[in-house]
C-alpha cells in the first residue's frame, strides 16, 4: 500500500460521505434499555444520529449520557453487571446483536474520554498503536499516518522533535489532542466524545472545540456534555436526557429557544 | 492554648523522625551486630574462600559456604519459576476477566493461604510433595530419590509464595486506569492485546517490584523448606538431589554444636551472608524498577 493509496482511501471515503447524503442517518438506536441489577439506567432509548453533524447529548450528571455512549462502541461489555437490550444499527449491522468481530466495530467509533488516557508508550507509538492493530506493518506508511494525524489535530509542530518521549510528558491539553489523533488514525466513522474538555483549561478546551468544528466535515461527532454553552457553540443536533430517558431532541434552536418540557426548561434556567 | 498546640506539633514531628530513623537504622544495626559476631571467622579465612569453597567440615575448621549459597539460590529460583507465571496469569484473570463475585470468593482464600504458618506448608510438603516426587516424578526422569530434594523445597516454597505474590500483583493491576483499557479496546484491540500492550506495560514497575519482594521473602524462608529439602551438604545441579539452604543451616545448628571452635562465628557469617544477598536482590530489583519506569 502506498501513501497515495492511503490518502486516496481517506479522501474518497470522505468525499463519498459528503456527496452521498450529508443529513442521512449513520447510527440508529432502537429500544435500548440498560439495567444494573434492579436499576433501570437507560430507558427505552430511540435515537437517530445524523451523518457529519455534531450531536450533543446534554443532561445533568448521572442521567445516562456516558452509558449511552459506551453502548455505542460496546464498551459496556467490560462491565458484567450491565444488562443491555435493544439494538444499535451502524451500516445496517446491529452491533449489539452481531457475531461480527467486536474490535472492528469499535474501530468505527473513535473514543475521546473525559480526561486523556495516553497509552503507557511514546507519543509516536500512541498514534501508531491503532494503525498496527489494523494490520498495517509498513514502517513508512505508519510514519506517514502518524504525522498526518498529528498534523490534523495541530500537534505535529509541538511534538515532532520528541516523538519518542513518553506520552505522559505532554501537557493535559496536548495529551487530549494526542488521544484524538490516535483515534483518528484508525479512520473511524464516528467520534464519541465524552465531556472531552472537562479536565482542560479554557485555551485547550477552545482548541478541542475548534478541532471538532473542523472535523465534522469528515466525521460524525457525538459529544456528551453538561456545559450548556459548549452545546450551544457546537451542536447541530441536541438530545436532552434526564433520569436515563430522552426527554427532548431536535435542532439547538428548537430546544434552546423553545423548550417543550419542564425538565429542559428547568435545566436551561439552571445552566445559565 | 497556642503554646500547647505548638508543643504537641513539635512532639509529634519528633516522634515521627525517631520512628523513621529507627526503621532506617535497623538493618544497619543487625548487619553490624552480625559482622561483629562473625568477625573471628575472618581471622582464619578470606571472604572469597568462605563464599566459593565447597569444603564444609566444621570439626576440622573448614567452612566453605558455597553449597548453602547454591542451595538457597537453586530452591529460590525454582520457586520463582513455578510461582511467577501462575501468579501473573491468575492476577490478570482476577483483575481483568473475573466477575466481582469470583474475586469476592478468592480474596479470603488468598488471605487464609497467606496467613498459614510455614510449618503447615512443610507438613503438607512431607505428606504430599515428597512422596509424589519419590514415587512418581523422579522415576519418570529415571531418578532414584527419597523425595527430600531441592525440587520439593522449590515446589513448597512456590506454593508459599503464591498468595503473597498474587496479592501484590492484583493490587498492581488494579492501578491501571479503566480509561486506558477502554482507549485500547476502542482502537480495535482485543482483550488480550489490551492486556499485553497496555495493562502489563503500564504495570511493569509494579510487576518487577512484586517479583523482587517475593524473591527476597522466598530466599529467607526457613521452616517449610528445611522440612522437605533434605538438608545435605551437596552442590548438585540435579533438582532431585537434596540441598541445604542457608536459613536451614542456621536454624538447624544454631544453639547446638557450639562447642566446635569458630562454629558460632561461621553461623553468624551465614546469617550476615543471608542479609547481604537479600539486600543485593532488593537493590537489583530497585534498579530494574527504575529502568522499567524510565522505559
Number of compact structural domains in chain B:
1
CB atoms within 10 A of CB A136: 16
B215/chain A closest Cα distance in angstroms: 26
Buried b (16+ CB within 10 A) or exposed e, B188-212: bbebebbbebbbbbbbbbbbbbbbb
CB contact (8 A) between residue B186 and residue A104: no
Chain A residues with CB-CB distance to B189 below 8 A = 103, 129, 133
B178 part of contact set with chain A, CB < 8 Å:
yes
Chain B residues with CB-CB distance to A119 below 8 A = 180, 183-184, 197-198, 201
- pLDDT of B91: 95
Quick one: cell of A186? 484508525
d(CA A251, CA A58): 13
Q: Rounded mean pLDDT of B163-190?
A: 93
Q: In this structure, is residue B250 part of a structural domain?
A: yes
Domain extent at residue A169: 124-187
d(CA A11, CA A16): 8
Q: Pick from A212, A31, A1, A185: which is nearest to A107 by CA?
A: A185
Domain extent at residue B86: 51-294
* Backbone angles phi and psi of A52, in degrees to 5: 50, 40
Q: Rounded mean pLDDT of B67-79?
A: 94
B293/chain A closest Cα distance in angstroms: 10
Q: In this structure, is residue B127 part of a structural domain?
A: yes
Per residue in A160-184, pLDDT (tens digit) is 999 999 999 999 999 999 999 999 9
Q: In the predicted model, is pLDDT for residue B203 greater than 90?
A: yes
Q: In this structure, is residue A223 part of a structural domain?
A: no
Q: In this structure, is residue A59 part of a structural domain?
A: no
Supply the ipTM of this predicted assembly. Answer: 0.85
Q: In the predicted model, is pLDDT for residue A15 greater than 50?
A: no
- pLDDT of B295: 63
CA separation, residue A234 to residues A52, A54, A90, A155 (Å): 13, 7, 23, 22
Q: Rounded mean pLDDT of B263-269?
A: 91
- pLDDT of A28: 93
Interface test with B, best of A113, A126, A194 (most B CBs within 10 A): A113
- Which residues lie closer than 8 Å to B233 by C-beta, 6 or more apart? B56, B67, B68, B244
Q: In this structure, is residue B27 part of a structural domain?
A: no
Assign residue B183 the CATH number of its domain. Answer: 1.10.3720.10
CB atoms within 10 A of CB B132: 15
Chain B residues with CB-CB distance to A121 below 8 A = 197, 201
Q: In this structure, is residue A233 part of a structural domain?
A: no
Q: In this structure, is residue B108 part of a structural domain?
A: yes
Chain B nearest-CA residue for A129: B187
Number of compact structural domains in chain A:
1
Q: In this structure, is residue B36 part of a structural domain?
A: no
A127 part of contact set with chain B, CB < 8 Å:
no
The band of A4, judged by pLDDT with boundaries at 50, 70 and 90, is: very low
CB contact (8 A) between residue B188 and residue A119: no
Q: In this structure, is residue B11 part of a structural domain?
A: no
Q: In the predicted model, is pLDDT for residue A8 greater than 50?
A: no
B199/chain A closest Cα distance in angstroms: 9
Q: In this structure, is residue B18 part of a structural domain?
A: no
B207/chain A closest Cα distance in angstroms: 15
Which is more confidently placed, A7 or B126? B126
Amino acid at each position: 500500500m502506498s501513501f497515495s493509496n492511503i490518502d486516496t482511501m481517506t479522501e474518497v471515503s470522505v468525499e463519498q460521505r459528503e456527496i452521498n447524503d450529508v443529513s442521512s442517518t449513520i447510527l440508529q438506536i432502537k429500544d435500548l434499555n440498560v439495567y444494573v441489577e434492579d436499576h433501570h439506567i437507560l430507558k427505552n432509548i430511540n435515537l437517530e444520529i445524523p451523518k457529519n453533524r455534531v450531536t450533543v447529548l446534554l443532561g445533568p450528571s448521572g442521567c445516562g449520557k456516558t452509558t449511552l455512549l459506551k453502548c455505542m462502541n460496546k464498551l459496556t461489555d467490560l462491565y458484567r453487571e450491565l444488562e443491555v437490550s435493544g439494538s444499535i444499527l451502524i451500516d445496517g449491522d446491529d452491533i449489539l446483536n452481531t457475531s461480527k468481530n467486536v474490535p472492528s466495530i469499535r474501530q468505527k467509533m473513535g473514543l475521546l474520554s473525559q480526561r486523556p488516557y495516553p497509552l503507557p508508550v511514546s507519543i509516536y507509538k500512541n498514534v501508531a498503536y491503532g494503525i498496527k492493530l489494523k494490520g498495517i506493518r509498513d514502517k513508512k506508511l505508519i510514519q506517514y499516518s502518524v504525522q498526518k494525524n498529528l498534523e490534523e489535530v495541530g500537534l505535529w509542530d509541538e511534538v515532532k522533535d520528541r516523538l519518542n518521549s513518553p506520552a505522559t510528558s505532554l501537557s493535559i491539553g496536548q495529551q487530549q489532542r494526542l488521544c484524538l489523533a490516535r483515534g483518528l488514525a484508525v479512520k473511524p466513522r464516528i467520534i464519541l466524545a465524552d465531556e472531552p474538555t472537562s479536565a482542560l483549561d479554557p485555551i485547550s478546551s477552545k482548541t478541542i472545540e475548534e478541532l471538532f468544528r473542523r472535523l465534522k466535515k469528515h466525521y460524525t461527532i457525538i459529544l456528551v456534555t453538561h456545559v450548556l454553552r459548549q452545546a450551544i457553540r457546537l451542536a447541530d443536533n441536541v438530545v436532552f436526557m434526564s433520569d436515563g430517558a430522552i426527554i427532548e431532541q431536535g435542532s439547538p434552536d428548537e430546544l434552546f429557544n423553545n423548550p417543550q418540557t419542564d425538565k429542559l426548561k428547568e435545566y436551561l434556567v439552571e445552566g445559565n | 492554648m497556642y503554646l500547647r498546640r505548638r508543643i504537641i506539633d513539635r512532639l509529634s514531628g519528633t516522634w515521627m523522625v525517631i520512628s523513621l530513623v529507627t526503621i532506617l537504622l535497623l538493618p544497619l544495626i543487625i548487619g553490624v551486630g552480625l559482622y561483629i559476631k562473625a568477625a573471628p571467622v575472618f581471622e582464619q579465612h578470606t571472604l572469597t574462600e568462605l563464599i566459593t569453597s565447597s569444603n564444609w567440615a566444621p570439626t576440622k575448621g573448614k567452612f566453605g559456604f558455597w553449597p548453602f549459597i547454591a542451595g538457597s539460590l537453586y530452591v529460590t529460583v525454582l520457586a520463582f519459576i513455578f510461582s511467577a507465571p501462575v501468579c501473573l496469569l491468575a492476577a490478570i484473570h482476577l483483575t481483568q476477566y473475573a466477575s466481582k463475585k469470583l474475586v469476592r470468593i478468592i480474596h479470603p482464600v488468598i488471605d487464609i493461604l497467606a496467613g498459614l504458618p510455614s510449618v503447615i506448608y512443610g507438613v503438607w510438603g512431607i505428606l504430599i510433595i515428597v512422596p509424589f516426587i519419590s514415587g512418581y516424578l523422579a522415576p519418570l526422569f529415571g531418578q532414584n530419590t527419597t523425595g527430600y530434594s531441592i525440587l520439593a523445597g522449590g515446589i513448597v516454597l512456590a506454593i508459599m509464595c503464591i498468595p503473597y505474590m498474587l496479592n501484590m500483583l492484583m493490587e498492581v493491576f488494579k492501578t491501571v486506569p479503566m480509561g486506558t483499557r477502554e482507549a485500547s479496546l476502542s482502537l480495535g484491540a482485543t482483550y488480550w492485546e489490551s492486556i499485553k500492550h497496555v495493562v502489563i506495560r503500564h504495570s511493569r514497575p509494579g510487576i518487577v517490584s512484586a517479583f523482587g519482594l517475593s524473591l527476597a521473602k522466598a530466599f529467607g524462608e526457613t521452616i517449610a523448606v528445611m522440612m522437605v529439602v533434605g538438608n545435605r551438604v551437596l552442590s548438585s545441579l540435579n533438582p532431585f538431589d537434596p540441598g541445604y539452604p542457608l536459613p536451614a543451616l542456621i536454624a538447624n545448628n544454631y544453639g547446638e554444636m557450639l562447642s566446635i571452635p569458630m562454629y558460632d562465628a561461621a553461623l553468624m557469617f551465614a546469617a550476615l551472608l543471608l542479609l547481604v544477598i537479600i539486600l543485593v536482590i532488593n537493590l537489583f530489583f530497585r534498579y530494574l524498577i527504575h529502568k522499567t519506569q524510565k522505559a
